[in-house]
Amino acid sequence: MGKHEVKAESGKRKAEMRRAVFLDRDGVINRALEKESKPYPPTSLAEFEILPEVPAACAKLKAAGFLLVVATNQPDVGRGTLKQEVVEKIHAHMLAQLPIDRVEVCFHAGKGLSDCDCRKPKPGMLLRAARELGIDLAQSWMVGDRWRDVDCGHAADCKTIFIDRGYAEELKQKPDFSARNLGEAADIILAQTNK
């Protein structure tokens, strides 16, 4: 194969790369449980409530050609306070309700109890999904409601949208955009994509 054929092949691969919207789970897709202005994940399927604007927002993003990838830290599993089967049951229910292409989960405990490359704000979950699904991270978005999501998106070279839920928690880096919910975030993504 000559030099020109190699170039054409790599150019073709680049054109085939896909765009994705990476979504945090709790507070973006489902209602987070709040205690003292801090968000917590549901501890059972009964507590898992998909937010009202989410199905339409996901459908719009899918129709525009985006892959939808959930990237969620679930450290309670690593800390032994939540069973992994409960999280998997919640995800099976979520996948049955929404057009999500993939769910990436970090079960590590965090808080200095574990060192991994997947716990947000580290970008490991996004990098793995990008590698395995052929995603162009520079053309992709990370949507989340906590500083870890924004920092993770920046670390992966994605554009970021912060959903401001008014938690008692400061951002560490500035997001590219802010929104009140996933419906607004989807509108921002579609408006920016169509520019």
Determine which one of 24, 76, 145, 151 is catalytic: 24
Tell me the torsion sign for CA atoms 116, 18, 32, 87. negative
Q: What is the CA radius of gyration of the chain?
A: 17
Cα 81 to Cα 70: distance, rounded to the nearest angstrom: 22
CB 48 within 8 A of CB 96: no
CB 121 within 8 A of CB 152: yes
Based on the residue annotation, tell me whether 24 is a catalytic residue of this protein: yes
Instruction: For residue 25, give Cα distances in angstroms to 16, 32, 34, 41, 66.
Output: 28, 9, 14, 9, 17
Choose among 156, 180, 166: nearest CA to 57. Answer: 180
Mode of pairing for the β-strands spanning 38-40 and 33-35: antiparallel
Active site residues: 24, 26
